[in-house]
Amino acid sequence: MELTDEAQPPKTGLEPLDDTPTETGRGLHPASKPLQVRLKSMAESEPDLFTIGELAQQAGVATSALRYYEELGLLEPGERRSGRRYYRRAAVETVGSILFLRDVGFTLAEIVQLRSSSADRPARRALLASKLEELARKAVEISVARDALNHGLDCPAPDILTCPNFIGGVHERLTARVPWTQLQSRSPGGSGLEEAVNGGGGLG
């Protein structure tokens, strides 16, 4: 009998795959693209939140000042994540109000009182009135100091530090144990150095 085909091994259904590359459309799937994952930063995902460094930059203060404001209860972070503070945009204005009140003479302790939720309008007005009285006293003391310095420029003594009137002022300061400017602002007539200033004769 004539055989037209060579004897072939029986087929098992587990023929090896043809891994010869072919073009798309000819039996080969297109090459897979590498997976790209883009992680958004906090600033991108939540633009209204600032880190403590970003808040410090926005307000123009040191991060240590912000931490101290937190200790006093003047500033609170919006939230904490993994031990880091995040502040809401309104915190910039909060810090600005603290700086403004410091500029006009309030201490941080007084600012705590002003910003306290229990401070009603009369309590705040009382704090404002008290600060005005304090500034008025300081204005008098500054005026006394300015006059003394101006007249000191005209002192005929060879050395202002050896001027009898200057030494008299030193003794008054040691005796009273209060700032000399306060002492003179409380005394209607003044004495020692103040008499020389008020008399227009300089410190000599």
Task: Give the CATH number, domain containing residue 47.
Answer: 1.10.1660.10
Question: Of 86, 115, 144, which residue constitutes the final position of a domain?
Answer: 115
Whole domain around residue 62: which residue ranges?
Answer: 43-115
- pLDDT value at 3 more than 60: no
* Last residue of one domain, picked from the residues 68, 88, 115: 115
| 165 Cβ contact list (under 8 Å, min separation 6) | 192, 193, 195, 196, 203, 204
Arithmetic mean of pLDDT, 56-80? 93
Residue-level pLDDT at 44: 44
Q: Residue 191: is its pLDDT beyond 80?
A: no
Q: How many domains does the chain divide into?
A: 2
Amino acid 98: pLDDT: 97
Tokens of 63: 């991060």
Does residue 113 have a pLDDT over 60? yes
> Do 111 and 137 belong together in one domain?
no
Residue 13 lies in a domain: no
- Both 109 and 140 in one domain: the answer is no
Structural domain contains residue 126: no
Last residue of a domain, one of 89, 115, 141: 115
Q: Rounded to whole angstroms, how far apart are CA atoms 127 and 135?
A: 12
- Is pTM beyond 0.75? Reply is no
